[in-house]
Amino acid sequence: MTDRPQHLIDIASQDTTFLRRVLDQAAAMRANPDAFRQAGSGRLMVNLFYEPSTRTRVSFEIAALKLGLQVVNVAAADSSVKKGETLMDTFRTLEAMGPDLLVLRHPEDEALVPLAAAAAPGTHLVNAGSGSRAHPTQALLDAMTLLDEHPDLSQAKVLIAGDLHHSRVTRSSAALLKKLGIGELRLCAPPGLEAGPEVSAGAVVFDDFDAALAGVDVVMMLRIQHERLAGMDIPDPEAYHREWGLTPERLALAAPQARVMHPGPMNRGVEIASEVADGPQSLIQQQVANGVFTRMAVIHELLKV
């Protein structure tokens, strides 16, 4: 592993020193954003999204603009992908136009792997969410938000709850929290939506949501990934909320002043009640704000700007 990787494809394969440096850099950028305003001047970033996104796409764009990069946005739905062009051909076409950085969201787990292998040395790839496998910048912004609350993560108990099986956020966040030495990572999912063994290793797994909540410092709620259920029954939203929704009553089972996180988009009244999402214990808006600084730091570290 080199000091600075060429790409950011997932958390698992990244060196912990690099990940900590991104988090430190993000905090420095938040403290003094003006100092980095021209850092990426003359560099070009392309956002290429094969799936919908609000937070990730826009915050990458804002992060790049704050660093002085130029940005081009490509929505696959409006591109020659619709004429049958392969992902590799689309990538090679865009790469020939000379971007320094290509940010890609794609529905397939391993979509970025062959692109990373084919990329020229001056082309950097960032995974903006691939299938159910990885969402590394979401994990980094979640860790930044957690560190604001718990600078010593070894003292923190964090619960990730919801559809863990289809969640790229779970995979990346669990991997990062373990690398950062989280005190206790708890996982809890409805039957059929449990995390796989790679994610569960080193975590405490619960099948009872109330028991999982007992005494935790932070609850990270996840939506059901309807777009990835593929043949599974879609739960009734009201029944799901009764059994698996984070309500004010359930949140009271956690530690006093426990914090609530959600990567978004939320399904209000399903996995989370609006009173909780908008309540005083919620960190959801801070997560979004930290997303910009985290992505600035990722761009900065990969491009060496």
Determine, following the binding rule CB under 6 A, whether residue 173 of this chain makes contact with ligand CP.
no
The residue within the footprint of ligand CP, chosen from 73, 264, 266, 268 (CB under 6 A), is 264
Please report how close the Cβ of residue 129 comes to ligand CP at its closest, in angstroms. Answer: 5
Q: Is 269 in the site for ligand CP (CB under 6 A)?
A: no
Q: ∠ CA(107), CA(111), CA(115), 5° rounding?
A: 145
Which tokens belong to 214?
Answer: 């007992």
Residue 77 near ligand CP by CB under 6 A: no
DSSP 136-151: HHHHHHHHHHHHHH-S
* Count of residues that interact with ligand CP, criterion CB under 6 A: 9
Segment interacting with ligand CP (CB under 6 A) among 8-16, 219-227, 251-259, 262-270: 262-270
Q: Quote the least distance from Cβ 103 to ligand CP, whole Å.
A: 11
User: How far is the CA of 121 from the CAs of 68, 271, 275, 302, 304, in angstroms?
Assistant: 22, 43, 49, 12, 13
Residues 153 and 177 sit within 8 Å (Cβ to Cβ): yes
| Nearer Cβ to ligand CP (265/279) | 265
Q: Which residue shows structure tokens 């399904």?
A: 267
The rounded distance, in Å, linking the Cα atoms of 291 and 287 is 6
Q: Which C-beta is closer to ligand CP: that of 138 or that of 282?
A: 138
CB of 136 or CB of 263, closer to ligand CP: 263
Q: For residues 156 and 174, what is the distance between their CA atoms, to the nearest angstrom?
A: 14
**Listed ranges 153-161, 208-216, 244-252, 263-271: which one lies at the site for ligand CP (CB under 6 A):** 263-271
Q: Is 265 in the site for ligand CP (CB under 6 A)?
A: yes
10 Å CB burial of residue 217 (0-12, 13-18, 19+) is buried
Q: Is 129 in the site for ligand CP (CB under 6 A)?
A: yes
Interface residues for ligand CP in 44-73 (CB under 6 A)? 53-56
Answer for which of 99, 131, 136, 263 binds ligand CP (CB under 6 A) is: 263
The reply to whether 215 sits near ligand CP by the rule CB under 6 A is: no
**3-state secondary structure (DSSP) of residue 223:** coil
Count of alpha carbons within 13 Å of 153, Cβ hemisphere only?
A: 18
Please calculate the CA angle 283-288-290 and round it to the nearest 5 degrees: 90
Footprint of ligand CP (CB under 6 A): 53-56, 129, 138, 263-265
